Amino acid sequence: MFVANKLPQHLGESGWVTMLPRRTPRPSLDGAVKADIVVIGGGFAGLSAARRLSQLDPKLKVVILEAGEIAEGATGRNSGFIIDLPHEVSSEDYGGSDSDARRHDIKVHRIAIALAQQLAKEKGWGKDIFDPCGKYNVALGPQGDKHVVSYAKQLEKVGEPYRLLDGREIAGVTGTSSFTSAIYTPGTVIIQPAAYIRGLADSFSGAVKLYENTPALSFERQGVAWRIKTPKGEINAAKIILANNGQAQSFGLFRGQLLHVYTYASMTEAFDPSLLGGDRSWAATPAFPMGTTVRRVRGDDGDRILIRSRYTYNPRMQVSKTAIARAGRVHDRKFEARFPMLKALPMQYRWAGAMALTWNGVPAFGEIEPGIFAAIACNGVGATKATASGIAAAEAALGMDSWLVQVFRGFAAPKRLPPQPFLTIGATANLSMKEWSAGLE
C-alpha cells in the first residue's frame, strides 16, 4: 500500500493562468468508480498519456485524477517552449562523435511536438495558444557569442537548419540592442501553457473521465487490480500511470532518487507595443546554461515580457514568499539590463514552478510495480520531455513495444543521491556555481 504524506503546494500567481478567462473545473470524484487505467496527474505527462490511450483504444475506460485545478500546477507555470532540439546550446549537448545519440533525442522530442500539433489542429487554435514559430538562443556578450557559434557547428553535424544573427539583426527581432548575437532554429513550438493544458483537459469526453480537486491519497493492491482512494471516493482499476512528477516521492516511491528544484518567473504589466520595437511575439532561451529565458507575449490589452531565471533546491517540495521575492529582485535586474527603455515598467506576476530531476539526468520510467507505470522526472524542458514520457507510458501500459517505449526502457535507472546533509550542500552549491558561471547571460 502506498500512502501520500503530503499534497502539492503552489505559491505565487502564474500570469499564464490569470490572463485567461475563468474556467469551471470538472467535478471532483464522489463515490466509487471502475476504470481500466487511472492516470494520476493532470499535467503534460498525465494528459498526454490519457490522449494517447484514447487514440489507441477509444473504448478504454480512463480516469484522470488532478489534485488541484488544471493548469494551477507546474504545467501552468512552464515557460511554454515545446523544444525539438536540446535546451542548452553548449557544445556538450551535441558531443561531437555522439551525433547519432543527438538525432535520437531529437526524434523523441518531435514525437511530443506531433501530438501537440494534432491537438492544435483539432482545436483550431491560433498563434496566441500554439505558435510553431521557432525560437532564438540569445547572447549578451563574448562568452555567449562563443556558445552560439559552437552550437551552430554542432547543428551542422546533425544536419539541422539554423540561422545566425548578429547584434543588429537580433535587435530587429527583439527591439533592444542589448543582445550581441543569436541563433534561430525553426522547430520549436511556443505555447500559452495554461491555455494549452486547459484545452487538452477539456478535449476529453466519453470513456475518459477527468476529476479535478481530487488528489490520490493512497493506492493498494486488491488481487489483480489496484484500489485508489481519494478524499470522497475510490477507483478500482487494472493499471495506474503515475504522472505526478516529484509528487511520486510523497508515496514513498523513488526515495533518494529525485532532486526537487524550483525555477522562478516574473511577467510585466501589459504595455503599449509602440514602446518597444521589433516583433510583438518571440521567444528566446539563453546562450549559456542556467541563463535567462525571455519571451515577448502579444495580447489584446498590450504586450508583456516574461523573464525566467534563478533555480533553488527544495527537498521539501515547497517554496516561500521570501524565495519568490528574492528571485524577483534578480529578474528586475535582468529585465532592466535587457530592456532599459522599459525599466519603469513594473512586474505584475511572480511565481515559482517545480521540476523533478535525477542525478544522472534520466527519466524515472517503466513498470515499477505490477500494473503501475511511471512517467516521472522530466529533468527540465518539461513540455517536451514530459509529453514524450506520457506517450511512452501509455503505450507501455497497453503492452506495446513501440520505438518510443524501447527508448525510454533503454535509459539507465535513476542514480541514488548522496545522503543528507551532503546532498543539500552539494545541490545548492552546484546551482549557485552554474548561475554564477552564466553571469550576465
* Amino acid (one-letter) located at 117: Q
pTM recorded for the entire structure: 0.95
- Give the Cβ contact number of residue 178 at 10 Å: 19
Q: Is the CB of residue 148 less than 8 Å from the CB of residue 181?
A: yes
Residue spans per domain, the chain: 2-77+195-255+361-416
Neighbours of 384 (CB within 10 A): 27
User: What CATH number does domain 2-77+195-255+361-416 carry, 3.50.50.60, 3.40.50.620, 2.30.110.10, 3.20.20.10?
Assistant: 3.50.50.60
Q: What are the pLDDT tens digits along the chain (441 aa)?
A: 999 999 988 878 899 999 999 999 999 999 999 999 999 999 999 999 999 999 999 999 999 999 999 999 999 999 999 999 975 544 444 334 456 677 888 999 999 999 999 999 999 999 999 999 999 999 999 989 999 999 999 898 889 999 999 999 999 999 999 999 999 999 999 999 999 999 999 999 999 999 999 999 999 999 999 999 999 999 999 999 999 999 999 999 999 999 999 999 999 999 999 999 999 999 999 988 789 999 999 999 999 999 999 999 999 999 999 999 999 999 999 999 999 999 999 999 999 999 999 999 999 999 999 999 999 998 888 899 999 999 999 999 999 999 999 999 999 999 999 998 888 888 888 888 888 777 778
Q: Whose CA is closest to 317, among 2, 1, 6?
A: 6
Three-class HEC string of 147-201: HHHHHHHHHHHCCCCCEEEEHHHHHHHHCCCCCCEEEEECCCEEECHHHHHHHHH
Q: Is 97 exposed, middle or buried (0-12, 13-18, 19+ CB in 10 A)?
A: exposed
